[in-house]
Amino acid sequence: MLEFSVIAQDGAARRGVIRTGHGELETPAFFAVATQAALKGLDPAVAAAAGVHSAICNSFHLALEPGPEAIRRAGGLHSYMGWAGVLATDSGGFQVFSLRHGQVAEELKGRRRLPDYGHQEDPLDAVRVDEAGADFRSYVDGSRHRFTPENNMRLQQALGADILFCLDECTPFHVTREYTQIATERNARWAQRCLDAFREIGLAANQSLFGIVHGGVYPDLRRWSAQRIAELDFDGYGIGDCLGESKSDWYSVVDLVCPLLPEARPRHLLGVGEPDDLVEGALRGIDSFDCAMPSRIARHGQALHLGLPRNRLDLAKADRKLEDRPIEEDCPCSACRRFGRAYLNHLVRAREILGIALLTEHNLAFTNRLMRRIREAISAGCLAELRAEVRAGAAA
248 is in an annotated binding site: no
Q: Which is nearer to Zn ion, 214 or 305 (CB)?
A: 305
92 is in an annotated binding site: yes
Dihedral angle computed from the Cα positions of residues 276, 281, 286 and 288, in that order, rounded to the nearest 10 degrees: -30
Which residues are designated catalytic?
A: 90, 290
Task: Return residues touching Zn ion (CB under 5 A).
Answer: 331, 333, 335-336, 362
Q: Which is nearer to Zn ion, 71 or 336 (CB)?
A: 336
168 is in an annotated binding site: yes
285 is in an annotated binding site: no
Residue 344 beta carbon to Zn ion: minimum distance, rounded to whole angstroms = 10
91 is in an annotated binding site: yes
Residue 121 beta carbon to Zn ion: minimum distance, rounded to whole angstroms = 53
Residue 37 beta carbon to Zn ion: minimum distance, rounded to whole angstroms = 24
Q: How far is CA 43 from the centre of its chain?
A: 20
CA distance 373 to 251: 21
* Residues paired with 289 in a beta bridge: 30, 269
The pairing of beta strand 13-20 with beta strand 144-147: unpaired
Q: Which is nearer to Zn ion, 283 or 365 (CB)?
A: 365
Residue 338 beta carbon to Zn ion: minimum distance, rounded to whole angstroms = 10
121 with 129: CB under 8 angstroms? no
287 is in an annotated binding site: no
CA distance 12 to 77: 34
Q: Which is nearer to Zn ion, 336 or 377 (CB)?
A: 336
The pairing of beta strand 54-58 with beta strand 267-270: unpaired
Residue 311 beta carbon to Zn ion: minimum distance, rounded to whole angstroms = 14
In order, the DSSP letters of 179-240 are HHHHHHHHHHHHHHHHHHHHHHHT--TT-EEEEEE--TT-HHHHHHHHHHHHHS--SEEEE-
In order, the DSSP letters of 126-143 are SEEE-SS-EEEE-TTT--
CA distance 73 to 211: 28
335 with 327: CB under 8 angstroms? yes
Binding site, annotated residues for substrate: 90-94, 168
Binding site, annotated residues: 90-94, 168, 331, 333, 336, 362
Binding site, annotated residues for Zn(2+): 331, 333, 336, 362
